[in-house]
């Protein structure tokens, strides 16, 4: 806290009024002077009172932050927090495993970068949200509300970081009367893979495709052979275990127990940093055993041996005539099938790695089989109750 605080109002050569505030930092012993424009002397006195109050409540750093731009704070956060994950054993102690936030911070800096961080309001954030909704995405079409929510979630984190560093004393996300991040506005994705589509998809991982192309003005027909052996095993594992894409791609052979038909998913590879185990169906075990036989006999080797498969997945979906399917939809499919099979919800949540029921229910999609099952169960219950009442009436 400062040892001495003084303030006064002065007029410069151009006739403009300034409120000047002077204080001595007790930690460094240095004297600092801060000035702010004022429309009149009354406003100038209020500015000085405000500066003294901020100094007493939040310390010298809050005073200095008056001129800090959002861009400088965001870049500082990016350099210190948006770094590659650092592990101690299986636990992440710093950094991020996913680089997605690095892309989310770019539009924030472009929009708010030259604005003082203490002067960004909830209204400013609401305007940013509307501007982003009108922008086109890289894939065509408008940017989704889900993407904007991720950007705003990062913006909220940056403001919390600024608070912890004493650069601001409150966040615009705390303003009353504003709902800046609304998960309810996001369009829920309910795409799941049907059994017929799954059959075509797996068949498309190995076969021949006819193509046509033009060379020197002549149309030529040809056939191409393809073999996505690893991709087929990935799809089977995703559909039968509900493992996430990142969990599958980081899986190593020492975590695959063929004898007990179990897969260990280490904490450092999971989204919630919690170790869990999943069972292997017969086809998962068979497909993984086939991979083990053709690969190097190294227990520390990556099971699927690939880092990404976006294009090959799109190719087999095209060949199989399976539209609008993302790889993450296979996790939705697996979770839905587990529930439809009658597995207890608590067990399904444990296997799939969900901690919150609200999150879990977002990934349980309604299917024809589930609706028929529920209708049949209700029908059986009503018939049973009707019989019970009928017997009761007869006795009476």
pTM of the predicted structure, to 2 decimals: 0.63
- Percent of the chain past pLDDT 90, that is, above it, reads 30
Cα–Cα nearest to 104, from 123, 130, 132, 76: 132
Selected residue with higher pLDDT from 91 and 330: 330
Q: Give the up-direction half-sphere exposure of residue 132: CA atoms within 13 A in the CB hemisphere.
A: 23
Q: Which of 258-267, 286-295, 343-352 is predicted least confidently?
A: 343-352
Q: Which of 51-55, 57-61, 151-155, 293-297 is predicted least confidently?
A: 57-61
> Mean pLDDT throughout 365-380?
61
pLDDT at site 2: 43
- Contacts of 199-206 spanning 24+ positions with Cβ under 8 A: 200/320, 200/321, 200/322, 201/235, 201/316, 201/317, 201/320, 201/322, 202/232, 202/235, 202/236, 203/320, 204/316, 204/317, 204/319, 204/320, 205/229, 205/231, 205/232, 205/235, 205/316, 206/232
Q: Which of 133-147, 165-179, 323-337 is predicted least confidently?
A: 133-147
* Tokens 């980081």 found at: 250
**pLDDT category of residue 317 using cuts at 50, 70 and 90:** very high
pLDDT at site 325: 93
Cα 67 to chain centroid distance, Å, stands at 32
Q: What are 232-265's pLDDT values in tens digits? A: 999 999 999 989 998 999 999 999 999 999 999 9
pLDDT at site 102: 75
**pLDDT category of residue 14 using cuts at 50, 70 and 90:** confident
């Amino acid at each position: 806290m400062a040892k001495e605080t003084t303030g006064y109002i002065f007029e410069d050569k151009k006739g403009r009024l300034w409120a000047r505030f002077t204080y001595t930092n007790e930690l460094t012993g240095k004297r600092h002077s801060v000035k702010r424009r004022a429309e009149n002397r009354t406003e100038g006195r209020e500015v000085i009172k405000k500066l003294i109050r901020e100094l007493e409540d939040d310390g010298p750093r809050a005073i200095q932050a008056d001129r800090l731009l959002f861009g400088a704070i965001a870049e500082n956060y990016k350099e210190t927090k948006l770094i590659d994950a650092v592990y101690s054993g299986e636990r992440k102690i710093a950094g991020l495993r996913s680089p997605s936030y690095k892309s989310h911070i770019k539009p924030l800096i472009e929009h708010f970068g030259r604005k003082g961080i203490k002067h960004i309001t909830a209204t400013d954030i609401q305007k940013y949200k509307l501007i982003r909704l009108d922008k086109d995405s890289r894939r065509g079409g408008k940017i989704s509300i889900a993407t904007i929510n991720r950007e705003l979630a990062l913006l909220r984190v940056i403001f919390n970081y600024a608070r912890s560093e004493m650069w601001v004393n409150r966040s615009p996300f705390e303003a009353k009367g504003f709902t800046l991040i609304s998960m309810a506005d996001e369009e829920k994705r309910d795409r799941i893979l049907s059994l017929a589509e799954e059959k075509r998809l797996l068949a498309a991982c190995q076969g021949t495709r006819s193509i046509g192309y033009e060379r020197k003005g002549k149309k030529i027909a040809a056939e191409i052979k393809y073999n996505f052996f690893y991709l087929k095993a990935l799809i089977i594992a995703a559909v039968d275990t509900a493992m996430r894409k990142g969990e599958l791609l980081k899986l190593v052979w020492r975590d695959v127990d063929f004898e007990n038909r179990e897969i260990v998913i280490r904490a450092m590879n999971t989204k919630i940093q919690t170790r869990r185990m999943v069972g292997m169906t017969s086809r998962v075990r068979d497909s993984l055993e086939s991979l083990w036989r053709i690969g190097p006999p190294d227990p520390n080797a990556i099971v699927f041996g690939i880092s990404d498969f976006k294009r090959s997945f799109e190719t087999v979906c095209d060949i199989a005539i399976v539209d609008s399917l993302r790889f993450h939809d296979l996790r939705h499919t697996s979770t839905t099938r587990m529930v439809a099979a009658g597995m207890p919800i608590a067990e399904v949540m444990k296997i799939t790695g969900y901690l919150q029921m609200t999150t879990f229910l977002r990934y349980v999609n309604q299917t024809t089989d589930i609706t028929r099952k529920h209708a049949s169960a209700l029908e059986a219950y009503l018939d049973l109750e009707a019989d019970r009442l009928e017997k009761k009436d007869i006795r009476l």
